[in-house]
């Protein structure tokens, strides 16, 4: 793997997690209705097809961003801000435009992951480690 900065490792880890969560989120829809409502991943997080697709895209973007420190930093900045906005939006509007249900633990998850990504995107200093 070579030397990776902390921000690259953060992009890698969050990218892998979001990709896995996105793919796992599609499982309840296989062999059944694509219009399932009130479907939960692991019995905790509300999901729908669009939500899963967004997680897959975030995951792929995170994995692609590992190629350089500026790419990883930009990923953390952009996705961190988006997740923070979604978390705040979820506090006030549970189902914006009827597309994504954001409520309960989804709000906390988006706020925490958004804050971590934003920190590494904007505030963290660049350090490298050998992997």
pLDDT tens across 107-120, in order?
A: 888 999 999 999 99
Which residue segment(s) compose the domain that 51 sits in? 3-124
Tens of pLDDT, residue by residue over 91-102, are 887 666 566 667
| Residue 48 located in a structural domain | yes
Which of 37, 121, 20 is closest to 80 using CA atoms? 121
CA–CA separation, 54 vs 21, rounded Å?
Answer: 10
Which of 90, 82, 67 is closest to 115 using CA atoms? 82
Tens of pLDDT, residue by residue over 8-48, are 999 999 999 999 988 988 877 665 555 555 666 766 677 77
Domains identified in the chain, total number: 1
| Residue 130 located in a structural domain | no
Q: Which residues of 98-117 are buried (b: 16+ CB within 10 A; e: fewer)?
A: eebbbeeebbebbbebbebb
Instruction: Provide, for the chain, the percentages of residues in helix, strand and coil under a 3-state DSSP scheme, each rounded to the nearest 5.
Output: 65, 10, 25
| Residue 105 located in a structural domain | yes
| Residue 131 located in a structural domain | no
Q: Name the band, by pLDDT with cuts 50, 70 and 90, for residue 124.
A: confident
CA–CA separation, 52 vs 26, rounded Å?
Answer: 7
50 close to 95: Cβ distance less than 8 angstroms? no
Task: Count how many residues are written for the chain.
Answer: 131
pTM of the model: 0.82
| Residue 108 located in a structural domain | yes
> Residue 51 has what pLDDT?
80
């Amino acid at each position: 793997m070579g030397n990776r900065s902390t921000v690259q490792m953060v992009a890698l880890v969050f990218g892998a997690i979001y990709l896995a969560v996105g793919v796992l989120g599609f499982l309840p829809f296989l062999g059944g209705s694509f219009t399932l409502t009130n479907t939960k991943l692991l019995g905790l997080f509300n999901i729908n097809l669009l939500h899963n697709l967004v997680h897959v895209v975030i995951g792929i973007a995170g994995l692609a961003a590992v190629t350089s420190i500026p790419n990883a930093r930009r990923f953390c900045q952009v996705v961190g801000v988006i997740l923070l906005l979604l978390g705040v939006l979820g506090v006030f509007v549970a189902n914006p435009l009827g597309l994504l249900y954001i409520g309960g633990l989804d709000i906390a998850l988006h706020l925490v992951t958004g804050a971590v990504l934003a920190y590494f995107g904007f505030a963290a200093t660049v350090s490298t480690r050998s992997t």
